Amino acid sequence: MEELCGSGGGWTRIGYLDTSDATQSCPGNLATLTYQGVRYCRRPGSKGSCSSVSFWPNGINYTQICGRITAFQYGNTDANHPQVDLDSIYVDGISITRGSPRKHVWTLMSALFDNILYGVDICPCYVGSTVAKQSFIGDDYYCESGNPDSYYQSGVMYPNDPLWDGKQCTPLESPCCTNPNLPWFHKTLPNSTSDFIEMRLCGDEAPYAEDTPISFYEIYIK
């Protein structure tokens, strides 16, 4: 495998999805969403939840994880919920963990607006933000909003601004878009492991009110 995440080659891909490929189905218990004629994968059901997809290293020991996820804001996502622990719905967005019990790898947050500071529904990295984040997150997170308006609507998706890609960042979002690895996340572990990796799509409200549907991901280890 070619160089990824500024850390050379030798990577093994353990997870991949491209919803533009009609032969691929939404993995795990994720549901299909068709929005403006384009297919996505989202949380199922009618209440707050986290929906999980697991990636197995098949006996490979690894010390690094590199991946990218293309997802979009749907409705009134609220970014982080700092009073909640790792095993609960602590984020409106995507949680990447490894093993059981879960160990944090990366958090991908979807905030409410990209152009105004609005209560606590904002990114911790926004200019002027005082929103807290859990200690287990540290600096291992990305946060962005796809909503360019000053109002929000349930049931509306923002497909023109993919999240966590380092592009179309407003001045408010600019500190969130400085990681040179974007759109990739990269985690180096303290020790070698063969833990499975779990991706959870999370939201503390029903999917029709808020969600982060995905269209693409690829996850690598080495």
pLDDT in tens, 92-108: 999 999 999 999 999 99
DSSP, collapsed to helix, strand or coil, labels residue 207 as: coil
**Percentage of the chain with pLDDT > 90?**
88
Residue identified by tokens 């690598």 is 220
At 187, the amino acid letter reads K
Q: If we measure between CA atoms, which residue out of 181, 170, 164 comes closest to residue 91?
A: 164
Contacts for 34 with CB less than 8 Å, ≥ 6 apart: 40
Compute the distance between CA of residue 93 and CA of residue 70 in angstroms, rounded to an integer.
11
Q: C-alpha 92: how far from its chain's center?
A: 9
Bond into 183 cis (ω within 30): yes
The answer to whether 98 and 196 have CB atoms below 8 angstroms apart is: yes
Which range has the worst mean pLDDT, 26-40, 90-104, 108-122, 159-173? Answer: 108-122
Compute the distance between CA of residue 122 and CA of residue 82 in angstroms, rounded to an integer.
12
pLDDT at position 56 = 97
At 140, the amino acid letter reads D
Quick one: DSSP state of residue 138?
A: T
Checking if the pLDDT of 135 tops 90, the result is yes
Compute the distance between CA of residue 104 and CA of residue 96 in angstroms, rounded to an integer.
7
Q: What is the largest CA-CA distance in the chain?
A: 49
Q: Give the long-range contacts of residues 122-129, CB within 8 A, separation 24 or more.
A: 122/79, 123/79, 123/80, 123/173, 123/176, 124/79, 124/80, 125/173, 125/175, 125/176, 126/172, 126/173, 126/175, 126/176, 127/171, 127/172, 127/174, 127/175, 128/172
Checking if the pLDDT of 27 tops 70, the result is yes
The model's pLDDT over 8-22, given as tens digits with 9 standing for 90+, comes to 889 999 999 999 999
Quick one: DSSP state of residue 125?
A: T
Checking if the pLDDT of 2 tops 80, the result is no
Compute the distance between CA of residue 220 and CA of residue 2 in angstroms, rounded to an integer.
11
